[in-house]
Structure 1
Amino acid sequence: MITLFLEDVRQGTWKSRGWPKIWTDYAVSKLALNAYSKLLAKRYESCGLSVNCFCPGFTRTSMTGGKGTHTADDAAEVGARLALLPPRELPTGKFYIARSTLVCSKL
């Protein structure tokens, strides 16, 4: 998938081939990161290693032009809570997203 995207960019055909029209590089890189995280989770599951993804949601940062539903500190708090879970409570291969109420949800 990434190879196809990069080839379409080289050829200048990425727009006509249906790739996202806004934040294209961001969207494709996040898709690749999530897929690779899932692969690593399966590969290292028997070793006791947890690999998960966390999306902080629409956070007020320079990337969002200072707009967002919550602060970077709020999002970091959710990420820290996930990272500090005891190993017996932390699954692997999951995607977590912070909702506007900043409660972690597994998708």
Structure 2
Amino acid sequence: MNVRRTNSAARARIKRRLLSRANGRPICALCGRPIDTSLRTPHPGSMEIDEKLPVSKGGDPFDLDNCQLTHRRCNQRKGNHQYTRLDAEPATPAQRRAPKPIPLSRQW
């Protein structure tokens, strides 16, 4: 059972508090880009609450200090790992797509 859904009022309260900390202009804790609060799930840029210490590793989903706002895609990419901001999103497009050598079948 997903423990985050057992107390939706508490999760809504955490979301409101995190938004108020961000003065209504949330920044993704993983990639550092602004979050558009008008986007709704399942849009990849929609806002989600992420647990810094994943629930699967003993984190409390109702502890405000364990929660942070992220984009849906960033949170899904992170999964149940503990990442820092730099781990979650490579800095340059070249780092995202490292070139792979093309194997040759034989010498010409």
Q: Which of the five TM-score ranges fits, normalised by the shorter chain?
A: under 0.3
Q: Decide which structure has greater helix share.
A: 1
Q: What TM-score, normalized by structure 2, do the two folds share?
A: 0.26
Is the radius of gyration larger for structure 1 or structure 2? Answer: 2
Q: What TM-score, normalized by structure 1, do the two folds share?
A: 0.27
